[in-house]
Structures are given as structure tokens and as C-alpha cells.
Structure 1
Amino acid sequence: MTMDYQGNIFRPPSEAYSILLQVTTGCSHNKCTFCRMYKESRFSIKNDDIIMADIDFAAQHCRHQNRLFLCDGDALILPQKRLVKILSAIREKLPWVTRVGVYANTKSIRRKSREELEELRNLGLGIAYMGLESGDDVTLQAINKGSDSARMIEMGKKIRKSGIKLSITVLLGIAQKIRSRIHAEETGRVLTAIDPEYVGALSLMLTPETPLYNSWQKGEFYLLNAAEMLEELFIMLDNTELSDGYFHANHASNYLPIKAKLPADKAATMELISRALQGKINLKPEAMRGL
């Protein structure tokens, strides 16, 4: 007997050692031009009996893992009563679990009231992961993100005010060269407005069978090189002010791994990027990058 997994399972890098409890399949949006993570999975909510059986399995076999992640692409979109039931069962049967994480987007956050989010927090939901990708509205529309920067700020603040920690991902290179600076500056603006606990910057890697990959093959999309990605990261960090947060670019896709606590490490990290741009620090070889 094992836990029930349907389709491809994805989780944030920071949830590598978490119990992975699949409560939905696919992604409720599933229209971003750069992503094919859930293209083969139709969005659905799994049967409660299956979910509860998986929690029972975890109670027997996952006693050394103190974090749990609710898969798949947007588990926060579950009706409140079902989420409360799931989190309550986790608290009862997995009392050693200290934090539950979940992917979230503006659509699912908007559907929850402040009181409902606080209820979920009190039941153990400790962190939400939201893909911002860009703070530039032109870029957000081009990649079919389904939200604009104002909504991103509104929903990001809503999560933060509920007491749930927020981790935001941004995507270097997604705006091409023509809007690179605007993308970097506007993303910094939005991150500053939300003030999340964590920011993760990824460098764009084109995935076959996505609209963006097809555009690149036709010569309609320009993929930034390593130096251009670093320049964008420099500008983005320069425009980002966090009161007490982490700005990481240590994902496998990045050419220069950085891990900064803001505001304390900002100046030193920008100096590090500057030295890399001057050729004084070796970058990760292309063959070593990964999604």
C-alpha cells in the first residue's frame, strides 16, 4: 500500500522533505505560456475517502517528516469546509507536523475571506507559495498569467495579513530584452508592496510543447543570455525592499546562486552580482542548469 498519486506531482524546492498529500490534480488556471507542468492533468478535487486514507498511511509511515505539502497546483481553491476537514484530520492524526504548505494564486486567495484564511492558519496552514513571475502588467498579459500587478499586490497582502507566510516566485528572462528593465523594476515594486517573507527568483528555461517554446522556435521570442539574466536580477534586487525577508536565487535554473536576507545582505549581494557581471566570478555552466 502506498499513497494515491495521480499524474505528475510537483512541489516547491523547500518542500523536498515534506509529506506530499495530493488533494487536487492539475492546476485550476493551467494557461501560463511558459509552463507545461500540468498540461496532461485535468484539474479536479480528489475524493475525501482517498485523501483521508492517505493521511492514515502517512500516520503510519511518515512519522519522521514534520512538514506537509498539499499538492497539486492550487489546493487553496478547495471549498473552505473541505480544507478545514483535511487540515483538522492532519492535526489529529499527524500531530508531529508543524507546518502545512500550499500553492496559491490570486483566484483562490480572492475566494477566501480574511476570516477563512485565519481559520486555515489556526489549523496549521503555515505557508503559501504564489507565482508572481513579473510585476509588469504587459508581461503578465503576454504570458497569460490571469492576473495583473494590482491584484497580485492585493492578494499577496491578504495572505500576509492573515498570518500565513508567503513565498513568491519571480521569473528572470520572461519579458525578453525589450522589457527586461521594466520587468525588473516593476517586479521589485510589487515585491516591495507585498513584503513577503520569501522571494525565489528563477531563470527562464524554455520547455518543449509550451506556447513560449513554440514562439522561440519561430524566432518570435528572445531568450536572454546569462549576462542579461544577471543584469535583470541586479535591477530587480536594487528595486526590492523587504522589511524582514529572504531573496533567493539558488534554484537549479540560476547561473549565480544567491541567498540574501534583506535588508541586511542587500548591498553585499548586489556587489556579488556586479562582480559576476565583470567576469570575476564563474557562472554555472549551461549543462548544469535544471528546472
Structure 2
Amino acid sequence: MRYEGAVYRPPSEAFSLIIQVTIGCSHNKCTFCSMYKDKHFKIRNLEEIEEDLLLAREHYNHVKRVFLADGDALTLKTEDLKYILKRIQSIFPECERVGIYSGPKDILRKSVEELSELNKLGLGIAYLGIESGSDDILKEINKGVTSEEMIEAGKRIVKSGIKLSVTLISGLGGIANWKEHAMESAKVINGINPDYLGLLTLMVQPGTKMYDQIQNGSIELLSPEEVMVETKLLLENLEVTDCVFRSNHASNYVALQGVLPKDKNNLITQINQVLKQGNGYKGEAFRRL
């Protein structure tokens, strides 16, 4: 396959065929993010994308899932995405699902009807980085949207029939704003009611604006214990239905998983046990993005 630069995908797309539809991220301004900094954003032409699909068909006997990279492939025109999805159906008739990263601005540029059309053509899941539900934090990290816009974007995906997987980042507000981060993030998640909620834990790479803010002391990071207190507050305020919750990413200090609301009390009990024991946290050397 032909790939340009580092290629990123969600953990659940580990065994998917990855096709670069865009190179890089059209926003690429988030202060905490080090991804795609080696690329200038561009949309690949349809001929190149089709060539990659045909090349993959020559090499793989069975393709169960396809993931459209890079950072926000949903930025493509709806007609172009429909063409790509139709070619996937034709070239890989065995494909069960196509996944895509979806920036909130890209979602808001599409109607529910357009998104529903994409769903009917095989777009089965969209990944949305909410990061935080706090307007102050969203502004500070330069996400480019408000919490209300984030809710509207998420609701459009859900209404279209496309499964929605969202992520929040523990500790993103630092010591000063941990409570606001937890409470306001719960409000946004409740407003959307996504199918999947993934909770990562903040890890900041050199070269990002947030790294410099941490170095100069303007942002103070949470300790592992404080991250768990924040996570507990988030869970206590979540009111969702049939939402798969995962906090078992390589960046997390403690692995948690369940289905909300069924496992909510059990998850909180697990956190209380960790806090009471004062240990069981993953060491910094073993955390990864």
C-alpha cells in the first residue's frame, strides 16, 4: 500500500485495511496534539484512492473492515465519499464496515440526510474526538468549536444511523479545571448519547503548545490519583443508554471497561477500591499514546 507519513487509526481498527483519503488533518491546531505535524493537508484525488483499493484487492483475500484515514476524511464532499464507498462495495463485497475519523466542523457541514446516505453505502462508524465538554477548555486547546456545536455534531451522526465512538481526555483541564472538565464533559456526552465512549489520559509530546505550557507552569498536570477522582466524577454524572465505556487505552493509569448505565456502579466501586488502596496505577514508563 502507498502511505504518506505516519498513519494513525483508532485501536478498534487494528485489523482494518487503511486507505488514505486525505493526507494530514485540515484543522491540525489542537494544542495537545502532535499528530500530522509532518504533513501539509491535502485531499487525494479519486483515481489514486481507487488505485489503492485495487492494489489492496490483489494482496488481501478477505477484507472485513476498511478505515478511511487521515485525520478527518469526512471533510470530503459527500459525492466523493459516496463514490469511494461504492467502489469499496464493488471491490470488497465481503466488507462489513467502513470507519472514518470525523472532525466536528466536518460533520456540521453535512446534513443528517447526507450522513444517512453514507451510512446506507457502508459507512458504519465515525470517530469523534470531543476531548472536553468545557467551553473554556475547548477554547484553550483550540478545538475550534463550542460544546453546543459538539453536541449538534454528535447528534447528527447518531441520528443518521452511523455508530458514533467519541473520546474524552482525562486531565485535559489540568489541576485548575479538573472538576469543570468532568462535569461539563458529562453534559456533552449525555446530550449526544454515543454508542461508544473512550476515555484517554493526557500525554503531551514535545513540540506541542501544551508541552510548553506545562514546562512554564501555566498548566499543572493531574497525578494518577487525581485522574481517578476526575474519572469518578465524570461517571457519577453520566446519564446515557447502552453506551460501551472503555478506559483501557495504553495511556490510562487504570484499565476500566463496561456498558453504561448497567455497569456504572461497578465502575465507581473499582475506582473507590483503587483510591483506597493507593496503588495499582500503571507506571509512566508503560504509558503510551
Q: Distance in 2 between matches of 1:286 and 1:277?
A: 18
Alignment deviations for residues 191-227 of structure 1 (CA, whole Å, 9 cap, x no partner) = 0110000000000011110000011111221111101
Q: 1:123: how far off? A: 0.4
Q: Which residue of 2 aligns with 1:84?
A: 82
| 1:150-169 aligned within 5 A | 150-169=148-167
Is there any run of 5+ residues in structure 2 with no aligned partner, and where? none
Of the candidates 271, 274, 287, which is equivalent to residue 273 of structure 1? 271
| 2:20–2:68 contact (8 Å) kept in structure 1 | yes
| 1:1-291 aligned within 5 A | 3-279=1-277, 282-291=280-289
Q: 1:280: how far off? A: 6.1
| 2:65–2:95 contact (8 Å) kept in structure 1 | yes
Alignment deviations for residues 44-71 of structure 1 (CA, whole Å, 9 cap, x no partner) = 0012121101110122222333011000
Q: 1:83: how far off? A: 0.6
How large is the Cα RMSD of the aligned pairs? 1.0
Q: Distance in 2 between matches of 1:215 and 1:231?
A: 23
| 1:137–1:149 contact (8 Å) kept in structure 2 | yes
| 1:17–1:65 contact (8 Å) kept in structure 2 | no
Q: Distance in 1 between matches of 2:268 and 2:160?
A: 32
Q: Distance in 2 between matches of 1:63 and 1:270?
A: 44
Q: 1:112: how far off? A: 1.0
Aligned identity (percent) is: 47
Is there any run of 5+ residues in structure 1 with no aligned partner, and where? none
Alignment deviations for residues 250-277 of structure 1 (CA, whole Å, 9 cap, x no partner) = 1000000011111111100110011111
Amino acid at match of 1:157: K
Alignment deviations for residues 15-43 of structure 1 (CA, whole Å, 9 cap, x no partner) = 01100011100001100000010111111
Q: Distance in 2 between matches of 1:93 and 1:174?
A: 42
Secondary structure of the residue aligned to 1:278 is helix
Secondary structure of the residue aligned to 1:190 is helix
Q: Distance in 1 between matches of 2:177 and 2:278?
A: 27
Q: 1:281: how far off? A: 5.5
User: Would you say how many aligned residue pairs link Structure 1 and Structure 2?
Assistant: 289
Q: 1:242: how far off? A: 1.5
Q: 1:5: how far off? A: 0.6
Amino acid at match of 1:110: L
Q: TM-score, normalised by structure 1?
A: 0.97
Runs of 4+ off more than 4 Å: none
Q: Distance in 2 between matches of 1:266 and 1:62?
A: 41
Q: 1:115: how far off? A: 1.3
Amino acid at match of 2:269: E
Amino acid at match of 1:256: V
Alignment deviations for residues 125-176 of structure 1 (CA, whole Å, 9 cap, x no partner) = 0000000000010000000000111001111001100000000000001101
Q: Distance in 2 between matches of 1:62 and 1:139?
A: 44
Secondary structure of the residue aligned to 1:248 is strand
Q: Distance in 2 between matches of 1:49 and 1:10?
A: 22
Cα distance change, pair 20–122 in 1 and its aligned pair in 2 (3 A): same
